[in-house]
Amino acid sequence: MSSENVRFTDFKSDKQPTWCPGCGDFGTMNGMMKGLAETGNSPDDTFVVAGIGCSGKIGTYMRSYALHGVHGRALPVGTGAKLANPDLEVMVAGGDGDGYSIGAGHFVHAVRRNVDITYVVMDNRIYGLTKGQASPTSRPDFETSTSPDGPKQPPVNPLALAMAAGGSFIAQSFSSDALRHQEIVQEAIEHDGFSLVNTFSPCVTFNDVDTYDYFRDSLVDLSEDDDYDRHDYDQAKDAILDADKEYMGVLYQDEDSTPYHEAHGVTENMSEIPDGAPDGATDLVREFY
Amino acid sequence: MHDDLNWAIGGEAGDGIASTGKIFAQALSRAGRHVFTSKDFASRIRGGYTAYKVRTSVDQVQSVVDRLDILIALTERTVDENLDELHENSVVIYDGDRTEFSDFEAPGEVTGLDVPLKDLAEDAGGAIMRNIVALGAVCAVADFPIENLDESLEKRFGGKGESIVENNKQAARLGAEYVEENYDDEGPRYSLETTDEDYVLLNGDEAIGMGAIAAGCRFYAGYPITPATDVMEYLTGRIEQFGGHVVQAEDELAAINMALGAARAGARSMTATSGPGIDLMAETFGLVATSETPLVVANVMRSGPSTGMPTKQEQGDLNMMLKGGHGEIPRFVVAPTSVAECFHKTVEAFNLAEKYQLPVYLTADLSMAVTERTYPPEEFDMDEVEIDRGKLVDEDDISTWQNEKDQFKPHAVTADGISPRAVPGTEGGVHMSTGLEHDELGRRTEDTDVRVEQVDKRYQKVDTAREREDFDYREFGDSDADNLVISWGSNEGTLVEALGYLDEDDPDVRVVSVPYIFPRPDLTEEVEAADQVVVVEANATGQFADVIEHDVLERVDRINKYDGVDFKADELAGEITETLA
């Protein structure tokens, strides 16, 4: 399919989402679809991976090649797909539970590896699909069915985790700010390396603290700050570790980082193979003389 | 049969035991002798004892035996560890300057040859070459022309420069000369005949790796684990030459999911691990099967459970591979029976995975994985390798598999259970796949009819494979014998050699070696025709024996329900009545 004629609705499936009315995931997904279309991708060449949770359903509602995998392992699947066929646009979607709890180990290593994929985390600071338990990004005093007095532990700071792991593109967006979210996703797609977009995607059913109003009132948009330089590591570090404010925008980008495919020379589409053993295979036997 | 020589070198870990053993094994192989090697780790005493054993003959050798003819003992303990295997004609080579054999009470007439390994090595250029001096001494004892060592020394040390190679050659010669000069009255104790044959020498892990490349595997993700790491190390640096890549994942969960991602993208993809890793991979293995993704998972078994005995042999994972994981999924289990079969069955595993779009366990066991064995190179004929990618569809025939809304059906219900497969990048093939139960389009469903249809479709692939493939067994011994001995995995070679030890007075035996565990050959007739049936396997409970008994027993009828709806009393009453009628 010629990517010139692709519209964002081409990335939309005919399946109606079963997310709760008003769920932040609608806006998050729309921005992903628009970002993919705007960057010249087509559904035929796009591979979307999702894990488990409300976020995991996204592959059903989008139209592209997709795998809805097991809980917490979406990043390794995306990594394998991208390395096997670098021509694919690989987008991994997940929630805060999928990415920062059960999949936290993979998250850190995916950041380190710097494979050229985009990771959009629909962060609603709650476990929605299982009807309201604390997530790794829940506030310490957030009362839930499994934490009646709050989890009493600091939330994970995913942006700091990414920075500590050597992240080359660290961003945060808000599903309700459709234009900014889409712009940030687009930049993430265009970044040559691993891109994290932590997207606040409010749960209207189970989270009455981290609401649309909360994010609308509290988020500071870095694009409006002329003094903020996303390439400045120290400035980014301060913003990411700021205990008083939460930011929206691309907090850090290292455009000189070496993406995995360059570091390892992985550039070929591996799906095509000959009808017999590859040329030169007999040399492998000779090695054993 | 017994015209073989059994040799070993033993010492502490770090003494260069394995590399010295490999040099000797290669020299024998290059001299046209068959070789079978094994590695021996600490057994009776805790600590760093390690040994490398070589059995060699001009005929095929495919097992270890309990006899040692020549032993290089770098430590006293090496002798202790091997006392049972020494006999009156055994020769022990040791360095009296390093090792006090004060309590070396040799059994019978074992000959101890004190050779100043370290001093002679220093004469040749460095003490580090003392093992090579010992190899030279072995050449003298075994009447094996010293020149035969040269090529393997070049292979081992070529990268370090010519002078290193020359020093090693000199070290070997000094060892041989010392024995000839100081113990010449006794002459060589053994004679290692050479032939004009050219053999290759490799182990099971290497054969799996080579088979994977031959089969077009281009993506490997793995996490290091004994004894499967050799597969990953083999592929690293080689698969890249064929446009492939190896990823060292952060854990086995990541490894199988990366391999799955690559397979979804259309690459022939694999991971290899051992028991603990197989356990970790179980959840994703179910996803691979449910999403109908072709994937080869090599399980190089070691002794379990839990961390078990990581460097010891066992065939204990059969139940896990056949039944492991929640829910019910079709999976194939292929178990090569020799080092060469590790190559052939790996190629076949990739074809099976793609033809039937499911995960294939390719299982070797530790002794086969780390055992080096010689073969004529023709055994690994790359021209014989055939690739069958099954129902992989391209743009041209994609419309055949679309519904009226031009949506591709990756889980289309077909007579043979096999659906078309379109990989990303294929125009018109856009689809999702999921671990949720799904319809033909790959979309979540809880519709009872669709659920049953998809389960049946997935299992239909097993029946189709049974019809189309030749899942046969390998047979040895007397095919008309009254007694049947059944084996799987690496026991085959040992059993074949064991037949040679049976006398006329012993029971007659037919050996059936089964490389296909699931789907497997139907052994009902063979079992029923035999007076006695014995299953040989390296585990405590007889996991394959259970399988054989299961196949032969037909006593139980079944009522099954798997549409997600509870049994209902009236419905069940009807079904029971019908079944018992």
The token pair at B123 is 């004469």
Residue B37 pLDDT more than 60? yes
Q: Given B210, B266, B435, which is nearest A69 (Cβ)?
A: B435
* Count of structural domains within chain B: 4
What is the reported pLDDT for A3? Answer: 52
What is the reported pLDDT for A1? Answer: 44
Q: Which domain holds residue A190?
A: 3-286
What is the reported pLDDT for B80? Answer: 85
Shortest distance between the Cα of B26 and any Cα of chain A, in A, equals: 8
- Looking at the structure, do residues B164 and B266 belong to the same domain, yes or no? no
Q: Do A289 and B219 touch (CB under 8 A)?
A: no
- Say if pTM beats, i.e. exceeds, 0.90: yes
A to B CB pairs, distance under 8 Å: 219
Residue B191 pLDDT more than 60? yes
What's the CA dihedral at B217, B219, B222, B227 to 10 degrees?
20
What percent of chain A clears pLDDT 70, i.e. is strictly above it? 99
What's the whole-number average pLDDT of chain B? Answer: 94
Q: Residue B200: count other Cβ atoms within 10 Å of its Cβ.
A: 23
- Looking at the structure, do residues B71 and B176 belong to the same domain, yes or no? yes
Using the 3D structure, point to which of B198, B231, B250 is the last residue of a domain.
Answer: B198
- Looking at the structure, do residues B93 and B142 belong to the same domain, yes or no? yes
Q: What average pLDDT score do residues B179-195 get?
A: 87
* Count of structural domains within chain A: 1
- Looking at the structure, do residues B331 and B416 belong to the same domain, yes or no? no
- Looking at the structure, do residues B58 and B170 belong to the same domain, yes or no? yes
- Looking at the structure, do residues B268 and B186 belong to the same domain, yes or no? no
CB B274 within 8 A of CB B302: yes
Full 3-state SS string of B213-259: HHCCEEEEEECCCCCCHHHHHHHCCCHHHHCCEEEECCCHHHHHHHH
Closest listed residue to residue B265, CA positions, set B221, B225, B308, B305: B221
Strand B49-57 and strand B5-12: the pairing is antiparallel
Query: A103: which residues sit within 8 A by CB, 6+ positions away?
Result: A51, A71, A72, A73, A74, A75, A94
Residues of A in Cβ contact (< 8 Å) with B210: 281, 284-285
What percent of chain B clears pLDDT 90, i.e. is strictly above it? 89
Residue B1 pLDDT more than 60? no
- Looking at the structure, do residues B251 and B130 belong to the same domain, yes or no? no
Closest listed residue to residue B560, CA positions, set B548, B552, B551, B572: B572
Which candidate in A64, A270, A272 is best for mutational testing of the B interface (most B CBs within 10 A)? Answer: A270
Q: Do A285 and B382 touch (CB under 8 A)?
A: yes
- Looking at the structure, do residues B102 and B16 belong to the same domain, yes or no? yes
Residue A152's CATH number: 3.40.50.970
pLDDT tens per residue, range B510-552: 999 999 999 999 999 999 999 999 999 999 999 999 999 999 9
State the burial class of residue B35 (Cβ atoms within 10 Å of its Cβ: 0-12, 13-18, 19+).
buried
Band the pLDDT of B105: cuts 50, 70, 90: low
Q: Decide if B578 is inside a domain.
A: no
How far apart (Å, rounded) are the C-alpha atoms in residues B554 and B557?
8
Interface of A with B in 11-40 (CB under 8 A): 14-15
What is the reported pLDDT for B2? Answer: 47
Residue B319 pLDDT more than 90? yes
Q: Which domain holds residue B348?
A: 202-384
Q: Do A59 and B259 touch (CB under 8 A)?
A: no
- Looking at the structure, do residues B29 and B130 belong to the same domain, yes or no? yes
Which candidate in B199, B200, B245, B287 is best for mutational testing of the A interface (most A CBs within 10 A)? Answer: B245
pLDDT tens per residue, range B211-259: 999 999 999 999 999 999 999 999 999 999 999 999 999 999 999 999 9
Would you call A60 an interface residue with chain B, using a CB distance cutoff of 8 Å?
Answer: yes
Q: Decide if B568 is inside a domain.
A: no
Q: Decide if B569 is inside a domain.
A: no
Cis amide prior to B188 (ω within 30 degrees): no
Q: Do A76 and B257 touch (CB under 8 A)?
A: yes
CB B176 within 8 A of CB B136: yes
- Looking at the structure, do residues B303 and B190 belong to the same domain, yes or no? no
**Lowest-pLDDT range, A67-76, B78-87, B196-205, B433-442?**
B78-87
Strand A118-123 and strand A169-174: the pairing is unpaired
Using the 3D structure, point to which of B355, B384, B413 is the last residue of a domain.
Answer: B384
- Looking at the structure, do residues B112 and B9 belong to the same domain, yes or no? yes
Q: B270: which DSSP letter?
A: E
Please give the ipTM for the structure prediction. 0.98
Residue B251's CATH number: 3.40.50.970
Using the 3D structure, point to which of B384, B419, B449 is the last residue of a domain.
Answer: B384
CB B301 within 8 A of CB B366: yes
Which candidate in A79, A83, A101, A107 is best for mutational testing of the B interface (most B CBs within 10 A)? Answer: A83
Phi, psi torsion values for B124, nearest 5 degrees: -85, -10
Residues of A in Cβ contact (< 8 Å) with B258: 76-77, 79-80, 83
Q: Do A76 and B261 touch (CB under 8 A)?
A: yes
What is the reported pLDDT for B106? Answer: 56
Q: Given A46, A266, A284, which is nearest B213 (Cβ)?
A: A284
Q: Looking at the DSSP assignment, which residues form a beta bridge with residue A46?
A: A89
Shortest distance between the Cα of B260 and any Cα of chain A, in A, equals: 6
What percent of chain A clears pLDDT 90, i.e. is strictly above it? 98
- Looking at the structure, do residues B425 and B506 belong to the same domain, yes or no? no
Q: Do B264 and A47 touch (CB under 8 A)?
A: yes
Task: Say which residue the tokens 């035991």 belong to.
Answer: B17
What is the reported pLDDT for B273? Answer: 98
Would you call A264 an interface residue with chain B, using a CB distance cutoff of 8 Å?
Answer: yes
How far apart (Å, rounded) are the C-alpha atoms in residues A181 and A198?
10
The token pair at B172 is 């070997």
Band the pLDDT of B97: cuts 50, 70, 90: confident
- The type of residue at B58 is V
